[in-house]
Amino acid sequence: LDGKGDVLTAETSYYSPQCINPLSRKKIKEPLDVGIKAINALLTVGQGQRMGLFAGSGVGKSVLLGMMTRGTNADVVVVGLIGERGREVKEFIEDILGEEGRKRAVVIAAPADVSPLMRLKACETSLTIAEYFR
């Protein structure tokens, strides 16, 4: 999407979902400052935690996600834009995420106009990349 060519790496990874016993998972001990005081205070996110942001259209999900991506003190932020309109993907990457956010973000996009199978694969790809950087 960014026009910067192929990702150069010798590593490959395959998504193979495995059910993890909830009792054997590591505890999330450290909060993650997402740069938004209301979320930090009321809906605290933990380091290493996966999260989904679900809401109706036009309520500001992309803006909130961009604020969190730019405001989070993390080396890499993985963002999966699944089922968004194509123009919203472009606006998110160029305007909302901005140059600062793009420097450390990995964005996987599967707009609403692609097949359901492609959207599912985009979700799996997002999880695989996030697990790699965890």
* Site of tokens 């193979």: 16
Q: Which mean pLDDT values do the consecutive 10-residue runs of the chain (134 residues) have?
A: 72 72 84 92 87 84 87 88 88 86 89 94 90 81
Dihedral over alpha carbons 67, 72, 76, 79 (to 10 degrees) = -30
CB atoms within 10 A of CB 41: 8
Rounded to two decimals, what is the model's pTM?
0.78
Q: Please report the pLDDT score of residue 61 as a whole number.
A: 86
Please tell me the distance from the alpha carbon of residue 50 to that of residue 120, in angstroms, as a whole number.
17
Extract the tokens encoding 11: 């590593």
**Contact of 76 with 44, CB cutoff 8 Å:** no
Q: Please report the pLDDT score of residue 7 as a whole number.
A: 72
Q: Please report the pLDDT score of residue 33 as a whole number.
A: 92
Q: Please report the pLDDT score of residue 21 as a whole number.
A: 82
Q: Please report the pLDDT score of residue 17 as a whole number.
A: 66
Nearest 5°: CA angle at 31, between 127 and 29?
85
